[in-house]
A and B are shown apart, each in its own frame.
Chain A
Amino acid sequence: MKLPAINQQEDELLKKAMLGDRAGIAYLVDTYRDFAFTIALGIVSNREDAEEVVQDSFVKAFSSLGKFNNASRFATWLYRIVYNTSLTKVQYRKPAAVSFDITHAPELPDLSENQAWHSLVTAERKQYVNRLLSGLPTEDRTIVTLYYIAEKNIGEICEILDMNKSAVKMRLLRARKQLEAALHLLLHQEKRNLL
């Protein structure tokens, strides 16, 4: 839950961005780009396409920036554009361009043995989570991303995905059960590896 002072600060930065202020624009991009990228990547399953979707969506959202008086409304609008643009991208994509490099393995820097082990475990865990989320239907995955990662409430998710409340709640409940089970399994395995 965000504090009112932070919200007020965000709204001020949104107003600055409307006037073309560099700090305001940088704030909006830095705050929402990764959330938007995660939503797009979940649908298009390709980093290059997801970056293209995020770029297009920001440009579209900024062209109607004057309509918003708070940052939360802007985020909802942006995610809605991201969702629809991603679906359009998938619909019109050439079959040859499809690649499933969703598990983007980061290059490991030169680290000590302990740090290297930790990085390896983190990378493996991320791959596991990506595989798990890839198993969910597109809508369910987007709902999970919006609810847990972007911290949007049910009403806002309905607005973004153009779905009714009961459908969103049902999908969220179903995805949550799967995630819960997988999370317990992962923690149990990690505990067993440590012993």
Chain B
Amino acid sequence: MRKELKTEEEIRAFLKENALAHTSAAFSDQLKMMLEQQCRHHHVPPISFNAGKWLGKVVISLLVSFNLFLLAYLGSYFLSTAVFISLLGFVLGVWGVIGIMKKIAVHQVDPASSGL
């Protein structure tokens, strides 16, 4: 086992020294410049904004539930089960369709799997 590990490390060191291809400095500078321009034009939102996503969701769900309570308190039509169920079905259906469309869109633009 130890011998195998030693050989493994030998191969790694040997390949790192002899098989690693290097790009030119000019290519590297050009690439950095291109990426800087790209980042400037298409500003990528930092991850710290994603951290507050759940808080936003909680606030939205609270607001929606307050609205529903208000509607239930004010409108007598809300007492009708048929209207309530069809409204709920409509909202859930639209939500589901949006979710499916989002998933399809993400899959289509995934450059890592398409290579294009």
Contacts and interface: CB of A to CB of B under 8 A. Distances in A.
A113 to B, nearest CB: 23
B11 A58 contact: no
Q: What class of interface size applies to chain B in its complex with A?
A: 35 or more
Given A25-B39, A62-B38, A85 B15 contact: no
B28 A15 contact: no
B60 interface: no
A114 to B, nearest CB: 19
A55 B40 CA distance: 17
Contacts, number: 125
B25 to A, nearest CB: 11
Interface string A8-31: 000000010111101001100110
Interface residues of A, number: 54
Contact of B16 (A17, A149, A183): A149
Contact of B36 (A22, A51, A87): A22
A50 B22 CA distance: 11
Contact of B22 (A22, A37, A59, A66): A37
Interface of A: 15, 17-20, 22, 25-26, 29-30, 33-35, 37-38, 41, 50-51, 54-55, 58-60, 62-66, 69, 77, 80-81, 83-85, 87-88, 104, 122, 125-126, 129-130, 133, 144-145, 148-149, 151, 162, 176, 179-180, 183
